[in-house]
Structure 1
């Protein structure tokens, strides 16, 4: 599915929408990882006294909760930035690099060789 094109002036996602999207993605990943890890553990050491489904469900539940929690926080941190900060970082990155005269001379000599 192609990414959604943002129209100029379109409303941004709210903090809660970003948080819930990260939690949903993390929960899905956690369920898959929990299933793989739980199935491997059951095959390796046996299901234990609670039974196969309860053990597998516990693995999947704890993994989903952990991944969902950290992914929701990570998504909010990663996407939480203002346009002013991005513009300032862009202009700082596009400025010419200031070099000491001896370094500039050394680089010129290297280019001529």
Structure 2
């Protein structure tokens, strides 16, 4: 998918910059079509190469992205606590810290 997107973007950018270069400096000895196609193909190859690498790096997982998003949402919902549960957990941690400090000072 990255290669296809890069190819499309590269062809468009190659057309724009190639046309501008031909307008500014002339077509050269090979002619208008050959010069423009060289700009477009080299730009398309470069963009598609880098976007293909980027898409491979980004999709380097076992699960598809929509399953990963669902999994993260479910995991986040499991870690949500009510205020009373959070207060009980905090009190338990404070009591454990007090006992630890009391044992350390004796």
TM (normalized to structure 2)? 0.58
Q: Which sections of structure 1, spanning at least 5 residues, go unmatched?
A: 1-20, 95-113
Aligned match of 1:43? 23
Q: Which sections of structure 2, spanning at least 5 residues, go unmatched?
A: 63-67, 80-106
Aligned match of 1:111? none
Once superposed, what is the RMSD of the aligned Cα atoms? Answer: 2.0
Aligned match of 1:32? 12
SS in 2 for 1:48: coil
More helix by percentage: 2
How far apart are 1:62 and its partner, in Å?
0.3
Aligned match of 2:53? 73
1:55 equivalent to 2:45? Answer: no
Cα distance in 2 for residues equivalent to 1:51 and 1:78? 41
